[in-house]
Structure 1
Amino acid sequence: MSSTGHKQLPSTYKGLLFTSASVQPEVTSIPTPQVDVGSIIVRPLYSWVAAYADEIYTNGNPRGMNLQFPIVGGANAIGRVAAVPADAASLKVGDLVTIEPLIRARDDPESKFLLAMLSGFTSGAQKMSADVYHHGTWAELVKVPLENVHRFDEAALQRQGVTPRDLGFFGQLAVPYGGLRDVNLTAGETVLITAATGNFGGGAVHVALAMGASVIAMGRNEAILSELKKLAPGRVETVQLSGSFESDVAALEKFGPVDVFLDFTPPQATNTDHIRAGIMSVRHGGRVSLMGGIQELTVPYILIMLKGLTLKGTMMYTRAQAQDLIKMIETGVLKLGEKAGLKVKGVFSLRDGEKAIEVAGKEAGAGRAVFIAPNDE
């Protein structure tokens, strides 16, 4: 362990603890974990509260996430390094970093889980989630694998006018970036995004524009669609979901074949006609990126074969993709902040965590975020 880093830490820290998915959380003192080789401890500054947090932690877990309670919630965070292990080559205490929530076993690519959100589907992943990296980022400290932390160049951020709070949107942007990179979206192409009015779909619009693509944003919320169109007039077109396969196909036909279709349909969706319509809109040799949460999907098999389409499933993003996105932010290619259409709808302390979850559910949508701030910057 790093003796200098570890001695600076208190014996306990405070976290927003959920004893079950049906009981309101409490701020609780938790023993500070050891800084083992291969792990790192971070002080979260801004931890994103997902719009669906109430469906995981406080409303009986209708999404069926296989969490192991009791648990401190929160997956994403911007923070500062609090303690480093002996095998850290470049990271140091005080560095401004982002935490990647998808944790992968080093000896088994099938064993992976989302920090404090999904314990995974292999025994190895569930053991790691329970015994090693259990508690999440709605806390004064959090322990994660060394490779799950990415450093920002603060001097570069200052030149771009980007603040640590602006970086709180990183998770909403990095996830769609992973999907778009996996299907090799390139400048000049057109990408269809559904549901573009949600957090990840809306983030995908920002990222696709920064990558040089044009966008067709498809969703239900007409007001948010209007906001997205204003991000880049002439490069963003919008389509309101109709609930009808035929109507969606007709609406998309006005724009001609698209190069890439990126889907973020949530698990609670009961009508997936828009996904079939989206696949129908892809050009010969085009690509489809599936990043949503629905369990089953009927696809136009013959069409996919005849057009030579590529269907790619992506969960989150890779370490290399996260670092590439950081470079886009540091160089100003990807803009952050309210002027870029990314609005912070609330910043809450740990003791107001229940309120943060409530507000996040109400303020859901593209370009919006609610944060828990466990530590003062």
Structure 2
Amino acid sequence: MTLEMRPRLTAGPGSVVVRILAVSVRANAPRVWQDPASGHPLPTPCVPGFASLGRVAEVGPDATVLESGQLVFFDPHIVGRDSTDAVYISGFMEGFNAESRRLSRCEWRDSTLAEFARLPLENCHPLNEQRLLGDIKDGGLGYSLDDLTHLFSMLIPFGGLADIDVKAGDTAVIAPATGRYGSAAVHVALAMGARVIAIGRNATVLKQLNDIDPGRLSTVQMTGDVIRDTEVLRATAGGQGVSAFWDMSPPGAATSTHFTSVLNVLNRGARISLMGSVSPGVSFDYMQIMVRALAIKGTWMSTKEQTRRLLGMVETGVLPLGARAKMGAIKKFNLQDWGEALATAAAEIEPGEVVVMP
């Protein structure tokens, strides 16, 4: 990776030029952006990036809502306009088929780790700046730009939680709940109305999560003992049982026992969301799934409709952000300090955000 100067971008049909204010740096970004064998192929050369906040600098001739100066949230999940089989995670992964590779290598090759980015019009969601950043005494929520960066970790978990229709009255298990995505999923599931059981191995982070909502949030430290963990989960769920299970396990979790322990306590008809990257796979109990009518849904990223719904939850105040919501710290870096940002993202994977602010 190198830092370079480029000519100023211009918007054309179907695009918008955005002045980037903050771009997310994920825990696996150093490997994705620097290791050709990461499993996240990218067109090279390219400008990397991911989910971002920015301000519209110029719109194309077919823009009908966006206008110069508007605060926007960029969803990096780019889908082909003439084929939903073409998918590109902007600046992060060019997809699994020829259509996706074609999409990633042309107009949208460059992403948001830059001062300005040319982006698809439909992926830039306008934000109600007056409501979000306005003073509380004037009807605003009083957030700062730093607070809004928590959206970066909530975007992907929301897709899976929405796909299995997590709602008021549900008891949902979130696993693992101690990283950036998992802890964000805890906040989102609570905002969707569920009672939440957050599980993981990191006792320190689990204790921090306990303070978010003592009335509707419980934590369970997993030990690897299937019988013991099953009993604790069942006791924590109480008579209501568990109706939803969201999982975003990392590649090394193929032998984790938590899958079995959670399946043991699911209600009949419970819904399961799989959003992780476990390789080569996980062994589920075939008969449990069939006899207990469990529904398993795989989700990659979130749809545009889900993204808009998530932003609406924040704008209405249903999903609080920032320190007042007991979220993690924001670690900020200049564009020139991209190397330090990558090192921090890889080394510190606890709840919170690592962002570059060009």
Checking the alignment, whether the CA contact within 8 Å between 2:199 and 2:220 is kept in structure 1 is yes
Checking the alignment, whether the CA contact within 8 Å between 2:146 and 2:330 is kept in structure 1 is no
Runs of 4+ in 1 over 6 A off after TM superposition: none
Asked if 1:268 corresponds to 2:244, the answer is: no
C-alpha distance in structure 2 between counterparts of 1:282 and 1:273, whole Å: 15
C-alpha distance in structure 1 between counterparts of 2:169 and 2:175, whole Å: 19
Match of 1:334 in 2: 319
Match of 1:30 in 2: 6
C-alpha distance in structure 1 between counterparts of 2:293 and 2:104, whole Å: 40
Match of 2:28 in 1: 52
Checking the alignment, whether the CA contact within 8 Å between 2:178 and 2:205 is kept in structure 1 is yes
Asked if 1:355 corresponds to 2:340, the answer is: yes
- Letter of the aligned partner of 1:335 in structure 2? P
Checking the alignment, whether the CA contact within 8 Å between 2:248 and 2:276 is kept in structure 1 is yes
Asked if 1:311 corresponds to 2:311, the answer is: no
Per-residue CA deviation, residues 110-164 of structure 1 (Å, 9 max, x unaligned), is 2102111111111111111111111221101112211111011111112001122
Per-residue CA deviation, residues 73-111 of structure 1 (Å, 9 max, x unaligned), is 221111111111111111001110110011101121121
- Which range moved further: 180-189 or 337-346? 337-346
C-alpha distance in structure 2 between counterparts of 1:29 and 1:268, whole Å: 39
Match of 2:188 in 1: 207
- Give the deviation of 1:284 after TM superposition: 0.5
Checking the alignment, whether the CA contact within 8 Å between 1:48 and 1:169 is kept in structure 2 is no
C-alpha distance in structure 1 between counterparts of 2:102 and 2:37, whole Å: 23
- Which range moved further: 190-199 or 235-244? 235-244
C-alpha distance in structure 1 between counterparts of 2:206 and 2:36, whole Å: 29
**SS where residue 209 of structure 1 aligns?**
helix
TM, length-normalised to structure 2 = 0.93
**SS where residue 307 of structure 2 aligns?**
helix
Sequence identity, in percent? 36
Checking the alignment, whether the CA contact within 8 Å between 1:99 and 1:148 is kept in structure 2 is yes
Asked if 1:291 corresponds to 2:290, the answer is: no
Checking the alignment, whether the CA contact within 8 Å between 1:188 and 1:212 is kept in structure 2 is yes
Unaligned runs of 5+ in 1: 1-17, 19-25
Checking the alignment, whether the CA contact within 8 Å between 1:243 and 1:271 is kept in structure 2 is no
Match of 1:23 in 2: none
Asked if 1:79 corresponds to 2:63, the answer is: no
2:286 to 301, 305, 310: 301
1:343 to 325, 328, 331: 328
- Give the deviation of 1:34 after TM superposition: 4.2
- Letter of the aligned partner of 2:256 in structure 1? T
- Letter of the aligned partner of 2:103 in structure 1? M
- Give the deviation of 1:270 after TM superposition: 4.1
Checking the alignment, whether the CA contact within 8 Å between 1:229 and 1:238 is kept in structure 2 is yes
- Letter of the aligned partner of 1:161 in structure 2? G
- Give the deviation of 1:61 after TM superposition: 5.0
- Give the deviation of 1:188 after TM superposition: 2.2
Distance 1:151 1:301, change over 3 A: same
Match of 1:238 in 2: 219
Match of 2:152 in 1: 171
Match of 2:68 in 1: 93
C-alpha distance in structure 1 between counterparts of 2:260 and 2:42, whole Å: 32
C-alpha distance in structure 2 between counterparts of 1:269 and 1:31, whole Å: 45
Distance 1:200 1:253, change over 3 A: same
- Letter of the aligned partner of 2:13 in structure 1? V
Match of 1:13 in 2: none
- Give the deviation of 1:33 after TM superposition: 4.3
Asked if 1:127 corresponds to 2:102, the answer is: yes
Asked if 1:192 corresponds to 2:169, the answer is: no
**SS where residue 185 of structure 1 aligns?**
coil
Match of 1:5 in 2: none
